[in-house]
Each structure stands twice: as C-alpha cells, then as structure tokens.
Amino acid sequence: MMQATQERKTGVYLCGGCGIAEAVKLDTLEAVASKEYKVPTCRRHEFLCSDDGVKMIKADVAAGSVNQVVIGACSPRVNAERFQFDDTQVIRANLREQVAWCQPPGTDDTAMLAADQMRMAITEARKSSLPARHEGGPYSERILVVGGGVSGLTAAREAALSGHDVVLVEQSDQLGGHARRWSKRMPQRPPYAAPQDNDIDGLIAAVEADPRIELRRNCRVVKTAGGPGKFAITLSQDGAEHEVAIGAVVVATGWRPYDPNKLGHLGYGVSPDVVTSLALEDMLAKGSLKRNSDSRPAQNVAFVQCAGSRDPNHLPYCSSICCGVSIKQALQIREADPDSSVYVLYEELRTPGVAEEFYRAAQRAGVIFVKGSVKGVGADLTVTIDDALLGEEVPLAGLDLVVLATGMVPNSAGMIDGAQEQPAVPAADIDPMSPIAVAGYAAAPPPAPPRPPATQISVAGVPLLNLQYRQGPHLPILADGFADSHFICFPYETRRSGIYTCGPVRRPMDMAESAEDATGAVLKAIQAIRSVSEGRGLHPRSGDLSFPKIGLNTCTKCRRCSVECPFGAIDESPEGFPVVNASRCRRCGTCMGACPVRTISFDNYSVDMLTSMIKAVEVPDEDEEKPRVLVLACQNDAYPALDMAGIGRARMNAYVRTIPVRCMGSVSMLCISEAMSSGYDGVLLMGCKSGDDYQCHFVKGSAMAQERLAKVGETLKSMALEKERVQNIEVSIADAHKLPKILDDYLAVIDRIGLSPLKGFG
C-alpha cells in the first residue's frame, strides 16, 4: 500500500489502443516517464484494458515493484473497474478522449499535449497517496426520529424492523400528528374510488409495542452536537435533560395548516360557518354535520380550493393534498346525506396518478365541480365566483357551510408553545459569520474574511435540532420554506450530513407518500451510519476515504474554511482553530479552495498537488507563439462534457491543458496565480450553474468559486496582467457540442490581448 510513510514505487503503463499509438509516439511518452521523471517501471501494451494488459500491471503490483499505478490510456470515467488493484493508488492520464480522439494525429501540438498529460499524471502520483481512512469510532447505530406523526411513526417502525434502536421524540403528549384527526383517508387500493379507513391507531400501537423504540412524548431536542455516527443529542423532557448518542437523524416534523385568519378575503371570520378543512374533519369525525352558528344540519356545502395556496400573497406553492382532501370530505358528506348539495370551487383540479379515479367517483356521486376563482364570501355565506365557464361573476347562495381548503406550511422550524407564527429569528442567529455559543469561546473576533453570498435563508421559529455547528443551529431550507434537498435526482440529500428530512417538512405530501418517504429516509440514515463507521464519505462522493487534514501550525485562524463549507462540517475550537468533523464532510474540498495558506489537504488531493500539476506542464517560450490555457474542470459535469466532445470526435483546441477538480469550490486562487506566474496565458474555470436553480452537487461550490474569482482581478493587476486572462464559465454536462467553440473563442481573446509577458520567469 502506498502511504505517506512508504517508499513510493510508481509504475507507468501506456496503452497504444483506440488510436492513441496513431496519434502520438509512445516512445516520447515513455521518455517523459523514464527520463524526465525517472520512473523505474514503465511498460506499454497495445490493449491495456484486456485481461492480458491488466495481468501485466497486476504482476508488477504482486511482485512489489510497483505500489502506485499511472495509466496513460482512456478517460478515468471508463474502465475504472478494470484498473483496480488491491491497496494500490491508480492515477489516470486521459490520452484517448482528450487527446487521440480530439486532436489530429502525429502533429507536434498533439505530442506536446499528450506529454503534458503524462507529466500532470506522474506529478499527481508524486504529490498524493492512497487515502488512509478516518478512524473516529466508536459509532452509534441508534436512530433519532423527530416528530411523531405518520412520517415519524413510520420512520421509527421501519428503522426498528431493520434492526436499529430508535429514539422517537414527539413534542406533544400524543402520537399521530394531524393524521389522528382524519376520520377517513384517501384511497390507496384499487379501485381508488372510496375514502379508506384511517389505520393510524394501528401504527401508533405497533410503535408503542416495539421494544426497540424508546418513545419520548412531551419531549424536544435541545441541542445537537457531533456528526453522523456520533451525534450527541440533548433531549428535554418533563423538565429534565438527557443526552443520547445517535448515529443518524430523521426529521419528520411535518406541517401546520396555513393560518386561516389571513384568509379574510375568502370569508374566514365573517361567519362561524366558514371553516377550514381540518375543522370540517373534526365535524365529520363526530358523525353529524352541523353548523357552528345554529347547530342546524349543514346540507349545502361549498369547498373553496387553494385557500392560501398558489397565491403569491400567501403560499406560492400548491399544497398538493387539498384537492384530494376536499374530494374525500365531499364524498363523505354525500354518502351521509344523499340530499346534500356539495360544490368544489377550483382553479385547477389536481388529482395526479390513480387519484383521478377518486375525482371521477366524486363526479359520479353528484359532487358539483365549478372552475373559477372565488372573489368573496358574504356574511350570509353567499360565495361570489368568477366562473371560468360562464365568463362572469356569479353568486352561489343558500349555502350552510363554506370550507376553506387551507394549505400546508412546513414545520421547518419549531414553534414556541403552539403559537401560529413566530417572528423571524434575528439574522445573526444564522449568519455564518457570527460566532455560535461554544463554551469558552471568548477570543477577540479574528479579522473578517470575505463574506460569502447570502444563500442561507432565514428560518422563522426555534431551530429544530439546534445544531451546535459553526454555521448556525438551523437546517437549511429552500426558498419556499421547505427543508433543503437536492430535490430532483437526490431528494434525500441535505446540507447537513446524516440528517434526513421526510414527509411534509420536505414537500407537501399526503399520508401514503409520507410513509413511503419516511421509509426511504430510514434507508439513508442506516446507510450513513454504515458509511461513516467505515470511514467512507457520503453522497455524492460515496465511498471516498479521503478527508481534509488541517495543518494547524500554519493556520491563521482566518475562518474561511469553516464559513465556506457547504455542509457545516468545520467548527472552531475555543482558540479559533478549525475543527474538521470528518463524518459530516462530503469531500468536496471547498475548505481547501478557501484556505489562503494552503494548509488544508486530502491525502490524494491538495493545493500543492494541483499547483505542481500546473507547473509540470511545459509552457513554450514566447517566441514559439504557442499559448497555453489552463482549464480547471468540474469532475462531475464539465470534465465528462470534454470527454463527450472527444467521443463525438470533435476537434478541440490543442493549447488547452485540463485538470479535473472535485468541485469548483476546491479551486484555490493560488492555483490561478501559480498558473499565471508559470507563464500560462489564461485560466478558464468550468464549473456548474450557481444561483437558485444551482446544479452544483455540493450546492455552494461553484458560487464560492465565483465569489473568490471576483477578487482575483486585484492579483492579476499586481502581476500587470489583463483581467480577461482569468474567466469563469458555467458548463453543463450536456454542453459537449459547445465546448470546441468556447475554447476557440477564449483562445481568440488570448490572441487579441497577446501572450503572457510572464513566460520564462516561472
């Protein structure tokens, strides 16, 4: 195994297949390895990924003559499973997709590019080692579930059935949450036409009877410290505090109905007979539908859909469940009283999937659906509708009851003693720049580092977990107030490792989907516990054993790393030094990119490694008139796009030298200044889209890079260089077809401003 303490025995293996040998002379590349870099073992094969080729490498590894393998062949994106050797670090030089397949064969420029690919790869090997896993046990396998509604109960039950001990915390004295109030629920079984019995009591009983579940009612989380595998969580129950050791957390704090007092324009408050869906549910549970005002039976009922939802002045989103809920209640009313008249007043009727059958069942049962928007409700319950079909405002009179189908507000923050809304927490509470209370933290504030963009949104109310993290006590939320998640491809991923949200705190959803969501969240919780106990990183660099190490002797306590980490993985010691919580870390390297004194590094990824690779490239002298441009490409998107340009045999600019990076966030501005002082003519950062619709897999990485880049102008100025020499472009993985032009256009800029005056001084 190649580790820091061992003698480094690098072997270089060149493949001549797939057009590589036709594009470049392998002799030249071998000379780079054996003569320039004095690599003792250097072999070639015309078909390296064949059994025979792999056997050749394996023999050297088995003989002990090689403990670090550099492969000059195809892209690291292919054949990773072929080129895998026990306890041996493998470095790939991309000679195929990014040389042979996108450059003319046999030219000097192609040869120079291929040689530089080898130089960079051998340098990468010299400056890195196989990562030694983080040892940080013991780890707890216990799962904390916060919230005792249908999501939380399901999560607790699923985790217990899967062999994990569970602590289930419910802030009230009753389990079941809102689900307890539903007399019936929406159908989940064919023919999906009738309200179904609510089995919440069965679920509560199963949880109560489960010996693996430690049930704590009237209980709150007071604070959460540590990280996945080793959370130390303080609970408060009956005036006493207990600390529990927890491996992972499932947050299932659910929702609350939108405050109807804000719906005066829909008649709430004009009459006691204008009620909310939940109030109607309580009436239905009693078995008879009577008016609040005079206890007369309510026969003529109108439902007002989107009461607060889909309204930029209230809830901008659709609460998803209200159409189904109103249909269910309408059917219950019609079934109890065939003489009743029930209207559903809607703008868009949303019964996705097989719920369409439920909608049809209501139509068959005589429920009247009216498309239009409600303009007002009078004291006599006359509803004025702007009827879409008639194209005019019409009154709907003679009603006994008006039901406002109010929407869902996520409990992304806790409330104080049942108050509906709390004023927003002072911004300082979640300002990443403000210190959090850490015992003994009394040092004078260090010099202010650059302020990160305000991507964190204020959360109203009490922090759910009260995280004792440098970046504040709240779980990050999205613009609509729901808990943050990478909501299309990886919906369970949050920015707080080992903490998974599920149910309506994440997105409006019904009981069935909440149960499904909770089950998935438990899988992720179990997976997180298992991964961190083996020292492996969590999504998206799943399985990565490397983690950031900080050299405290050179640390200036500038706090950039702890401030910029997208995952809140770095805290600060009372003395102000950064403290890495390896199990929270997602291995993106944003801390490394942030550090101005390059004292943060991974075993196999460091600023020293990157700058050495940059300097390994042979930059031609000015009189050769061959520019060199450094491209730092995001490994997940821009780099695959460059590969795909090659797969499509696009002709790419030969003056470009590309280094894949874990994330734009990991790019230190030192890489840029090193490149410029080494005589490169320009640097192009190719990262992912930032902003509201960000596509960065590490959420803030590309935004951080842009933020830092905004200041690179000063550095360039001090070097007497034009600011156009350093550019950032957002490249998506599907942009392969645009890349040849992007690079050519950039080289045209270099051509216009001229070669760097710093050539030959590096």
Give me the residues paired with residue 255 across strands.
Answer: 410
Residue with Cβ nearer another protein (462 or 512)? 512
Residue with Cβ nearer another protein (192 or 268)? 192
What is the spatial distance between Cα 247 and Cα 583, in angstroms, rounded to a whole number? 10
What is the spatial distance between Cα 305 and Cα 326, in angstroms, rounded to a whole number? 8
Does 487 participate in binding another protein (rule CB under 8 A)? Answer: yes
Judged by CB under 8 A, the stretch of 253-261, 265-273, 317-325, 722-730 that binds another protein is 317-325
Judged by CB under 8 A, the stretch of 308-316, 591-599, 700-708, 711-719 that binds another protein is 308-316
Which of 604, 620, 535 minimizes the C-alpha distance to 92?
604
Residue with Cβ nearer another protein (292 or 351)? 351
Angle between helices 150-161 and 511-533 (to 10 degrees): 40
Residue with Cβ nearer another protein (209 or 419)? 209
Angle between helices 200-209 and 150-161 (to 10 degrees): 40
Residue with Cβ nearer another protein (154 or 471)? 154
What is the spatial distance between Cα 195 and Cα 193, in angstroms, rounded to a whole number? 7
Determine which residue in the list 13, 139, 255, 492 makes contact with another protein, applying CB under 8 A: 492
> Which residues fall within 8 angstroms of residue 252, CB to CB, at 6 or more apart?
145, 146, 147, 149, 151, 152, 155, 501, 502, 503, 505, 514, 518, 521
Determine which residue in the list 355, 405, 629, 654 makes contact with another protein, applying CB under 8 A: 355
Residue with Cβ nearer another protein (493 or 674)? 493
Q: How far is CA 286 from CA 272, 360, 478, in A?
A: 18, 27, 38
Residues of span 272-301 touching another protein by CB under 8 A: none
Residue with Cβ nearer another protein (235 or 306)? 306
Does 318 participate in binding another protein (rule CB under 8 A)? Answer: yes
Residues of span 46-85 touching another protein by CB under 8 A: 47, 49-50, 74, 77-78, 80-81, 84
Determine which residue in the list 65, 542, 554, 556 makes contact with another protein, applying CB under 8 A: 542
Does 523 participate in binding another protein (rule CB under 8 A)? Answer: yes
- DSSP letter at 622 equals G
Judged by CB under 8 A, the stretch of 219-227, 437-445, 524-532, 654-662 that binds another protein is 524-532
Q: How far is the CB of 311 from another protein (least distance, A)?
A: 10
Determine which residue in the list 265, 689, 729, 744 makes contact with another protein, applying CB under 8 A: 689
Q: How far is the CB of 186 from another protein (least distance, A)?
A: 12
Does 480 participate in binding another protein (rule CB under 8 A)? Answer: yes
Does 587 participate in binding another protein (rule CB under 8 A)? Answer: no
Judged by CB under 8 A, the stretch of 130-138, 450-458, 536-544, 568-576 that binds another protein is 536-544
Determine which residue in the list 90, 270, 278, 478 makes contact with another protein, applying CB under 8 A: 478
Distance of CA 744 to the CA centre of its chain: 33
Q: Give the torsion sign (CA, 163, 165, 167, 173).
A: positive
Determine which residue in the list 3, 34, 234, 519 makes contact with another protein, applying CB under 8 A: 519
Residues of span 695-714 touching another protein by CB under 8 A: 695, 697
Does 354 participate in binding another protein (rule CB under 8 A)? Answer: yes
What is the spatial distance between Cα 358 and Cα 192, in angstroms, rounded to a whole number? 6
Q: Give the torsion sign (CA, 449, 596, 437, 459).
A: positive
Q: How far is the CB of 718 from another protein (least distance, A)?
A: 37
> Which residues fall within 8 angstroms of residue 312, CB to CB, at 6 or more apart?
none
Judged by CB under 8 A, the stretch of 23-31, 171-179, 385-393, 651-659 that binds another protein is 385-393
Q: How far is the CB of 644 from another protein (least distance, A)?
A: 5
Q: How far is the CB of 395 from another protein (least distance, A)?
A: 20
Q: How far is the CB of 567 from another protein (least distance, A)?
A: 16
What is the spatial distance between Cα 167 and Cα 160, in angstroms, rounded to a whole number? 10
Residue with Cβ nearer another protein (375 or 626)? 375
Does 368 participate in binding another protein (rule CB under 8 A)? Answer: no
Burial 136-172 (b: 16+ CB within 10 A, else e): beebbbbbbbbbbbbbbbbbbbbbbeeebbbbbbbbe
Burial 49-60 (b: 16+ CB within 10 A, else e): beeebbebbbeb
φ/ψ of 424, rounded to 5, equals -60, 140
Residues of span 727-746 touching another protein by CB under 8 A: 732-737
Does 4 participate in binding another protein (rule CB under 8 A)? Answer: no
Tokens of 698: 């590490």
